[in-house]
A and B are shown apart, each in its own frame.
Chain A
């Protein structure tokens, strides 16, 4: 197996090879470092590369495995982290130069868990500054580039996580998702991306954007890898005040491929907002495929969907401004203008408006939950468009010109507001060869159902087997 083939494997494929000692973690890490060096000038996925540390960790893993101390499916698997996960002794910039001197004194909870599972950290990944934007553009550290067409956006904010994983620079990546920041770049780069239920995965040791809507989740190349990562990072954490102490299942066991009788609802409101015709057709075909696999498809109505943007926006802007108030006062002019404007806008929302939005959120949550009286999952597009050119501020969709922030988050943000689990899985490609994603969402703490359906769909197609033409 050559280096490229090694980097194109999934963790689910490579893990057993490492366990059987057919491949050494040192070979794996060396192959990935070579790939990073070859592709980084075109993709700009990384902010900090940890070559020496990764090689040292790989040698340690090799020694452990040779002495029969195999830790599990992620032992020796190369990992990348969005550069807002705290890493002990390694700078954590959140994608802005004004924070490049910040070196955390501890690992965030999920980082600690992944290291304990034997995953090898290759580096810290580029992101939309402060995770506040859905395109993956960044003037401080350079824009991220989509491996399927390097002139196009990766999506964001976890853009480096998506480009690195899609291109084989790393095998697994973690991102954060406040309005879609895992699912958007995952969909635009042809990956699987999961936003778990709010409270399922610890946020401790992660730079916040908006506390009540922030989630951590994996960006990976298969649903199986998604389950493998969730098996490690999902746990109750007393250090995160919103963490929920519910039993954590073995997510891999949910991947049966069996979805007969699963009730899948398609909200009619999803077609009342701008969507590209080619994307819509592709997603409808994916939903037909779910039906062919035995799911029972029905149309559902979710009228409050249209209020998710103003409710979530009010909350996000207020919380983001509150968290970054000091940074803005001390370094405002040094923050990239589009991000600075969005942050400062939060100062102009009144406390009463924030509380009203949180009351409206209670209503939104209740109505969202009621939808699941009729169905087990919701299905629809992850995004209304494919990746567009870097530097675009408005996109024409169905004869309407729409701002990119609202457009990219229109299907993802509602699930940050209600906190329900939602996954994106590749469901096709445009005529231009750009990936399209299917989003599946479930009721709280039903990641198993979400993963089961995503897996059944994935295994009935070959979209996830394609690799970018790099």
Chain B
């Protein structure tokens, strides 16, 4: 049985509004359908045992860019 998509339509609309996504002209439906196809595959990251690993962090330069 196909797993139920966790992102409820109301939550989708709220996040879209907060992010400034223009949902006019059927774009909202298109985006919601796209998310249903893409987001579940990303959840596989949660299967990994990460222990106390830290995230990859950028090394920051404190210098101002010189052009």
The interface bits of chain B over 10-32 (1 if a CB of A lies within 8 angstroms of the residue's CB, else 0) are 00100110011110110100110
Q: Are B59 and A357 in contact (CB under 8 A)?
A: no
A361 contacts the other chain (Cβ, under 8 Å)? yes
A48 contacts the other chain (Cβ, under 8 Å)? no
What residues of chain A lie closer than 8 Å to B20, measured between beta carbons?
325, 328-329
Contact residue among A238, A307, A309, A337 (Cβ-Cβ distance under 8 Å from B61) = A238
Q: Are B55 and A359 in contact (CB under 8 A)?
A: yes
User: In whole angstroms, how far apart are the Cα atoms of A453 and B53 in the complex?
Assistant: 34
A242 contacts the other chain (Cβ, under 8 Å)? yes
User: In whole angstroms, how far apart are the Cα atoms of A105 and B19 in the complex?
Assistant: 30
Q: Are A363 and B39 in contact (CB under 8 A)?
A: no
User: In whole angstroms, how far apart are the Cα atoms of A355 and B46 in the complex?
Assistant: 11
Which of A310, A348, A356 has the most B CB atoms < 10 Å from its CB?
A348
The interface bits of chain A over 364-376 (1 if a CB of B lies within 8 angstroms of the residue's CB, else 0) are 0100000000000
Contact residue among A240, A241, A345, A353 (Cβ-Cβ distance under 8 Å from B35) = A345
The interface bits of chain A over 337-355 (1 if a CB of B lies within 8 angstroms of the residue's CB, else 0) are 1000100110111000101
By a beta-carbon cutoff of 8 Å, the part of chain A in contact with chain B is 105-106, 204, 211-212, 238-243, 307, 309-311, 313-314, 317, 325, 328-329, 332-333, 337, 341, 344-345, 347-349, 353, 355-363, 365
User: In whole angstroms, how far apart are the Cα atoms of A315 and B33 in the complex?
Assistant: 21
The interface bits of chain B over 44-67 (1 if a CB of A lies within 8 angstroms of the residue's CB, else 0) are 111110100111111111010111
| A241-B58, A363-B48 as given contacts; A349 in contact with B42, CB under 8 Å | yes
Q: Are A355 and B42 in contact (CB under 8 A)?
A: no
User: In whole angstroms, how far apart are the Cα atoms of A325 and B15 in the complex?
Assistant: 13
| A333-B22, A347-B15, A360-B50 as given contacts; A238 in contact with B63, CB under 8 Å | yes
User: In whole angstroms, how far apart are the Cα atoms of A362 and B52 in the complex?
Assistant: 11
What residues of chain B lie closer than 8 Å to A212, measured between beta carbons?
56, 58
How far does the Cβ of A377 sit from chain B's closest Cβ, in whole Å?
23
Q: Are B45 and A353 in contact (CB under 8 A)?
A: yes
| A241-B61, A242-B58 as given contacts; A333 in contact with B27, CB under 8 Å | yes
How far does the Cβ of A328 sit from chain B's closest Cβ, in whole Å?
7
Q: Are B54 and A348 in contact (CB under 8 A)?
A: no
Q: Are A362 and B55 in contact (CB under 8 A)?
A: yes
User: In whole angstroms, how far apart are the Cα atoms of A363 and B52 in the complex?
Assistant: 10
Contact residue among B25, B27, B45, B67 (Cβ-Cβ distance under 8 Å from A356) = B45
Considering only CB atoms, which chain A residue lies closest to B22 in the complex? Answer: A332
What residues of chain A lie closer than 8 Å to B67, measured between beta carbons?
105-106, 239
Q: Are B48 and A360 in contact (CB under 8 A)?
A: yes
A–B pairs, 24, beta carbons within 8 Å: A105-B67, A238-B66, A239-B65, A240-B61, A241-B58, A241-B60, A242-B59, A309-B41, A310-B42, A310-B44, A313-B38, A313-B42, A325-B20, A333-B22, A333-B27, A345-B34, A345-B38, A347-B19, A348-B35, A356-B45, A357-B45, A358-B55, A360-B45, A361-B55
By a beta-carbon cutoff of 8 Å, the part of chain B in contact with chain A is 7, 12, 15-16, 19-22, 24-25, 27, 30-31, 34-35, 38-39, 41-48, 50, 53-61, 63, 65-67
The A-B contact count (CB < 8 A) is 106
How far does the Cβ of A416 sit from chain B's closest Cβ, in whole Å?
12
User: In whole angstroms, how far apart are the Cα atoms of A329 and B20 in the complex?
Assistant: 5
User: In whole angstroms, how far apart are the Cα atoms of A344 and B23 in the complex?
Assistant: 11
Q: Which 4 A-B pairs have the closest CB atoms?
A: A358-B55, A329-B20, A347-B19, A241-B61
Q: Are A348 and B12 in contact (CB under 8 A)?
A: yes
How far does the Cβ of A17 sit from chain B's closest Cβ, in whole Å?
35
Considering only CB atoms, which chain B residue lies closest to A403 in the complex? Answer: B37
Excluding A329-B21, A358-B55, A359-B54, 18 further A-B contacts by CB distance (< 8 Å) are: A238-B66, A239-B61, A239-B67, A240-B61, A309-B41, A310-B43, A314-B45, A329-B22, A337-B30, A345-B39, A347-B19, A349-B42, A356-B45, A359-B55, A360-B45, A362-B50, A362-B54, A365-B56
How far does the Cβ of A338 sit from chain B's closest Cβ, in whole Å?
9
Q: Are A307 and B58 in contact (CB under 8 A)?
A: no
User: In whole angstroms, how far apart are the Cα atoms of A337 and B27 in the complex?
Assistant: 9
